């Protein structure tokens, strides 16, 4: 167990190094010039060169990479070009916004999917099963940003129940999930984010529970006189290790994949930051955001793997 954990952790290091190389390379091959954005519409080439030197963008690539990597290791992700503030602070601030909403979405999706999955598996072929399966297929098939736009039209514009965009009545810094006036800003993003994992987890839960309900020991339990409710609890407990692992993975994907939904709702998380960084060609910000997201994703996977091997040693992978 400890050996496995140790090896798994060591294996993470080259992956993280690879991540930094990809982050750096991607941004370098891009067309466009981050300096242009800072220049006034009538600035001259000399102005541009002066500014480029001030940001160290005139150095050779390898030098830029190692300088950057060295700083990254001490938590310095550089200065954002368009805002002239430390990237680390920017990304961390945004990351908190993303992870909280992703957590709420994924937990919501998890709870609902467990209920749906159990109902569907228990009554295979029933109307309820078909409805639930339909919802699940819709969840994984719908473009999430399109769903977001539809939600805005209904709930913000037509009904005026929920605000269309932003995070909180006076910005994210004073946002509280426990205040209705603020929380209502989070409702539509949560729904749009939760639907795809809901679809995936419902399908997985349904098939896992169905499989367990078909196994012999369930018949044995029934024969022993356990009530149907107790049998179901038994089945649910049985798939828990797997379900929890799934929860962790979905969380990782939501954190990394929320760029479209955050853009639709102008939710000030990492996805929204990423979109802005791409648009403004803010190299340090883009690198920092991708790096933090990929690192978080790797670490979540690591934790999931370790947790899984802890719960269920049979799942130990090579």
Residue 59 C-beta: closest distance to another protein, Å: 16
If the CB atoms of residues 138 and 221 are measured against another protein, the closer one turns out to be: 138
Task: Give the residue with the Cβ less far from another protein, 118 or 231.
Answer: 118
Interface with another protein, residue 14, by CB under 8 A:
yes
Residues 161 and 188: their CA atoms lie apart, in Å, by 11
Contact residues for 198 (Cβ-Cβ < 8 A; gap 6+) = 108, 109, 112, 113, 116, 135, 136, 139
Question: From residue 118 to residue 157, what is the string marking binding to another protein with x (rule CB under 8 A)?
Answer: -------------------xx-xxxxxxx--xx-xx--xx
What span, in angstroms and rounded, lies between the C-alpha atoms of 202 and 200?
6
Q: At which residue do the structure tokens 């828990």 appear? A: 240
Determine the interface stretch with another protein among 63-71, 118-126, 202-210, 219-227 (rule: CB under 8 A): 202-210
Q: Which residues pair with 79 in a beta bridge?
A: 86
Residue 188 in contact with another protein, rule: CB under 8 A: no
Q: How far is the CB of 155 from another protein (least distance, A)?
A: 9
Residue 58 is a binding residue for another protein (CB under 8 A): no
* Cβ–Cβ < 8 Å for 208, 239: yes
Structure tokens at 252: 């990782």
- The stretch near another protein (CB under 8 A) out of 47-55, 59-67, 69-77, 218-226 is 47-55
Q: How far apart are the first and last CA of the chain?
A: 12
Please, which residue, 67 or 181, has the CB nearer to another protein? 181
Neighbours of 131 (CB within 10 A): 13
Torsional sign, CA 57, 62, 68, 70: negative
The alpha carbon dihedral of 33, 38, 40, 45 has a sign of negative
* DSSP-derived secondary structure letter, 225: T
Q: Which window, 63-71, 117-125, 172-180, 306-314, contacts another protein (CB under 8 A)?
A: 172-180
Residue 204 interacting with another protein (CB under 8 A): yes
By CB under 8 A, is residue 75 in contact with another protein? no
Alpha-carbon distance 100 to 106, whole Å?
Answer: 10
Please report, as residue ranges, which positions from 292 to 311 form the binding site for another protein (by CB under 8 A): 293-295, 297-298
Question: Taking CB under 8 A as the rule, does residue 64 contact another protein?
Answer: no
- Asked if residue 56 binds another protein (CB under 8 A), the reply is no
By CB under 8 A, what part of segment 206-235 binds another protein?
207
Q: Which of the residues 231 through 290 are near another protein (CB under 8 A)?
A: 249-250, 252-257, 259-260, 263-264, 266, 268, 272-276, 278-281, 286, 290
Contact 316, 4 (CB under 8 A): yes
């Amino acid at each position: 167990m400890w050996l496995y954990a140790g090896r798994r952790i060591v294996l993470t290091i080259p992956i993280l190094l690879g991540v930094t190389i990809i982050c750096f390379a991607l941004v370098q091959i891009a067309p466009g010039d981050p300096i242009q954005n800072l220049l006034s519409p009538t600035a001259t080439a000399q102005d541009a060169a002066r500014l480029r030197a001030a940001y160290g963008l005139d150095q050779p690539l390898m030098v830029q990479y190692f300088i950057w990597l060295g700083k990254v290791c001490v938590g310095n992700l550089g200065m954002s070009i368009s805002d002239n503030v430390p990237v680390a602070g920017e990304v961390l601030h945004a990351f908190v916004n993303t992870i909280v909403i992703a957590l709420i979405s994924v937990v919501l999706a998890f709870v609902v999917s467990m209920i749906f999955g159990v109902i569907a598996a228990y009554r295979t072929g029933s109307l309820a099963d078909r409805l639930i399966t339909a919802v699940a297929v819709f969840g994984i098939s719908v473009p999430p940003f399109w769903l977001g736009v539809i939600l805005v039209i209904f709930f913000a514009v037509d009904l005026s129940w929920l605000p269309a965009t932003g995070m909180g009545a006076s910005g994210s810094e004073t946002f509280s999930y426990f205040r209705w006036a603020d929380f209502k800003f989070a409702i539509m993003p949560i729904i749009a984010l939760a639907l795809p994992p809901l679809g995936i987890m419902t399908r997985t839960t349904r098939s896992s529970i169905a499989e367990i309900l078909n196994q012999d020991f369930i018949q044995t339990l029934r024969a022993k006189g356990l009530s149907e409710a107790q049998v179901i609890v038994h089945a649910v407990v049985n798939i828990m290790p797997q379900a929890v692992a799934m929860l962790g993975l979905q969380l990782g994907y939501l954190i990394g994949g929320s760029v479209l939904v955050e853009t639709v709702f102008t939710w000030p998380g990492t996805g929204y930051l990423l979109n802005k960084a791409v648009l403004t060609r803010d190299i340090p910000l883009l690198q920092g955001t991708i790096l933090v997201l990929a690192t978080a994703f790797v670490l979540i996977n690591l934790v999931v793997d370790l947790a899984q091997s802890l719960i269920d040693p049979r799942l130990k992978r090579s």
